[in-house]
Structure 1
Amino acid sequence: MEQLAAWTPADLLQLSGGYWNTCALHAGVKLDVFTPLQDRAANSEELADLLRADRRGLAMLLNALAAMGLLKKDGERYATTLFAAEFLSRTSPKYLGHIIMHHHHLMDGWSRLDEAVISGKAIQERVVHADDAQVRENFLMGMFNLAMQLAPKIVPEIDLSSRQRLLDLGGGPGTYAIQFCLHNPELTAVVYDLPSTRPFAEKTIQRFNLADRVIFNDGDFITKGIEGTFDVAWLSHVLHGESPEACAVILKKAVAALEPGGIILIQEFILEDSKAGPVFPALFSLNMLLFTSGGQAYSQSELYSMLTDAGARDVQRLPLSLPNGAGVMMGFVTEH
């Protein structure tokens, strides 16, 4: 179990007011103050005119972002730091603004956590199903942001050199299918997800010039079957959005789509068996309470049981060091 530092009143108050920093960052990303300041420094009046913002209000925000170390201030002129230029400018290939805006869209729900705890029901619909195209884009491309941080660490550690056909179930924009195929030249992949995901997936696949090896197939894989057969299945952060009963259905369908000798791999934020840690999966479970009808973070023993019940054998957790309590479980399919 994680060893947590002893609390002090100052720590408690810092935590309680920590959303001030969060909201300043979200406002900076939403207003896109970082992109124009990447190319040239500007004063608050110039930037306010460009962004059509109030001069006084924007100056306060810029000063706060400078105090946080995300902007530099020289006299009355502001510019992005090297870090902000790399991760907060929309022109950067490492832009993380989509996932930051996804976090922003969750804030209203989190402010009503007490209601969800009392009722045991979600506060609002899952963001992935949202009607607002911008909200949906921020979610899907935010998943791309996160996956691009982790995939280069995970993919080289999983030997798929003898595999030919990958199922990326619930793969969103296809980030992992793309990275696995880039690392394994003989591999092809099918990304399975909802129809609303198709434009983002196909755009991302084309961006990596893999349209001849990675295809998108839309469908509800919980209520319907999975077309085709595969020798490896990858499910990244799919199960936490579903109830244990739905997870059982998903895993049985995934295993059924695998040939004998196939591998099933699932990535999740994994709780300790006590469920009292690590911190991020425990908090993430509350996120699922807020935005899904039955989702939650699962413990390693629960994931082990789910995989074995679905027909996987020799289930194990791979020895990967990943942030936020993330982990990858692997099992083999010997027969159906």
Structure 2
Amino acid sequence: MPPTLNPGRLLGLSGSYWQTCALHAGVKLGLFTAIGRHARSAEQVAAMMDADPRAVTMLMNALVAMALLKKEGGQYANTDESRLFLDESSETYQGHIILHHHQLMASWADLEKAVRTGRPVRARSSLQDDEARRHFLLGMFNLAMGLAPRVAAALNLTGRRRLLDLGGGPGTYAIHFCQFQPDMQAVVFDLPGTRPFAEDTIARFGLSDRIKFVSGDYLETPLPGRYDMIWVSHILHAENPANCRRIIRKAVDALDAGGSLIIHDFFLHDTLDAPLFPTLFALNMLLGTEGGQAYSQAQVEVMLKEAGLQRIERLPLDSPNDSGLLIGYRSS
């Protein structure tokens, strides 16, 4: 073995799920929420969670080693990061997307089977139980709440009055776009099971008079109305190339002259082997969809051009998971 090589990196990769499971357990137990803004002993936290004190001490010490908790004099406290993102009382709580990740773990353990067969090993989120759907929708909402203001600022919304948020889930982006552009009216188009959460979310932002929810399947249902802006966020990666072309063509057909179609997704480099997150996300789509995958910017550009869009450009976006924005315009 060359002196500069050792198996440490590989062993670290192989065992990294231990840290993942410790984080997931902390979130599932409500440990970070129990600590809140206080410093508490392991015994206090165990009593609050109705859990075993010895086991809670072991978990909390591991979370200290992971820099998710601080410890001083036998008292444990949240770090700034944990208080901001892992305490359920925080407006920037990310626990739901973490619990969604936890629900994906069983399928990831069957990755070898999916690679051998080329077939998914889990049901799509829309077909799972209510708890799984809740964590997925709330997780998407919480992630989008952090990113949507930056996206709204990056886009030129001047003069845009009629928005379609295609497959828009709870309508987070439609909400922020309408807040940014006071003259905008929007339609959130998604599956019927999403309606209660979407309408409740829209109402909480006081936008029920400007944002309407329409139920439908973006592959099978005709799109309602015409728009000068269509937002397609994290849809294409769940579909095969033929369905992606179909979705884009339907969107373009509903777009007014001069209107814009914006694709928000995890874009691979043209070599298809970077960045890291989209390459791994492609495997996640293998595990959960019949033909979904991550696409490169070049692949999506071809689809947009085939559908008749012009002036296709990539907009800069600083996102936590390498998502990007690709925009094309229908000719006037």
TM-score range, shorter chain: over 0.9
1:123 aligned partner = 121
2:51 to 53, 57, 67: 53
TM-score relative to the length of structure 2: 0.95
1:34 to 23, 32, 35: 32
Contact 2:37/2:83 (8 A) holds in 1: no
Task: For 2:256, give the aligned amino acid.
Answer: E
2:257 aligned partner = 260
1:12 aligned partner = 10
Q: Describe the superposition over 1:202-228 as per-residue Cα deviations: whole angstroms up to 9, x where unpaired.
A: 222122221121121111121110111
Q: Pick closer, same or farther for the CA change 1:11–1:221 going to 2, 3 Å.
A: same
CA distance in structure 1 between the partners assigned to 2:263 and 2:44 by the alignment: 49
Report deviation, 1:273.
1.4
2:161 to 153, 159, 164: 164
1:280 to 271, 277, 282: 277
CA distance in structure 2 between the partners assigned to 1:281 and 1:187 by the alignment: 32
2:321 aligned counterpart, secondary structure: helix
Report deviation, 1:200.
1.6
Report deviation, 1:64.
1.0
Contact 2:121/2:288 (8 A) holds in 1: yes
2:189 aligned counterpart, secondary structure: strand
> Is 1:223 matched with 2:220?
yes
Contact 1:128/1:139 (8 A) holds in 2: no
For residues 247-326 of structure 1, the aligned pairs below 5 Å read 247-326=244-323
> Is 1:144 matched with 2:141?
yes
1:324 aligned counterpart, secondary structure: coil
CA distance in structure 1 between the partners assigned to 2:319 and 2:59 by the alignment: 34
Q: CA RMSD in A?
A: 1.6
CA distance in structure 2 between the partners assigned to 1:33 and 1:319 by the alignment: 37
CA distance in structure 2 between the partners assigned to 1:8 and 1:313 by the alignment: 51
2:114 aligned counterpart, secondary structure: helix
CA distance in structure 1 between the partners assigned to 2:81 and 2:327 by the alignment: 36
2:36 aligned counterpart, secondary structure: helix
Contact 1:128/1:140 (8 A) holds in 2: no
TM-score relative to the length of structure 1: 0.94
% identical aligned pairs: 51
Contact 1:236/1:266 (8 A) holds in 2: yes
Contact 2:34/2:49 (8 A) holds in 1: no
Q: How many positions carry a matched residue from both structures?
A: 329
1:233 aligned partner = 230
CA distance in structure 2 between the partners assigned to 1:275 and 1:114 by the alignment: 20
2:209 to 193, 207, 212: 212
Task: For 2:56, give the aligned amino acid.
Answer: L
Report deviation, 1:49.
2.1
Q: Describe the superposition over 1:22-76 as per-residue Cα deviations: whole angstroms up to 9, x where unpaired.
A: 1100000000011121143322222222211122211111111122121222223
Q: Pick closer, same or farther for the CA change 1:34–1:321 going to 2, 3 Å.
A: closer
Q: Describe the superposition over 1:141-165 as per-residue Cα deviations: whole angstroms up to 9, x where unpaired.
A: 1111221222222210111111101
Report deviation, 1:8.
5.5
Contact 1:34/1:88 (8 A) holds in 2: yes
Give unmatched runs, 5+ long, in structure 2: none
Contact 1:237/1:267 (8 A) holds in 2: yes
1:85 aligned partner = 83
> Is 1:154 matched with 2:154?
no
CA distance in structure 2 between the partners assigned to 1:160 and 1:46 by the alignment: 51
2:151 aligned counterpart, secondary structure: helix
Give unmatched runs, 5+ long, in structure 1: 1-5
Q: Describe the superposition over 1:111-159 as per-residue Cα deviations: whole angstroms up to 9, x where unpaired.
A: 11111000000011112321x2111111111111221222222210111
Task: For 1:303, give the aligned amino acid.
Answer: V
2:243 to 246, 261, 280: 246
- Give 4+ residue runs of structure 1 displaced > 6 Å after superposition: none
CA distance in structure 2 between the partners assigned to 1:194 and 1:203 by the alignment: 15
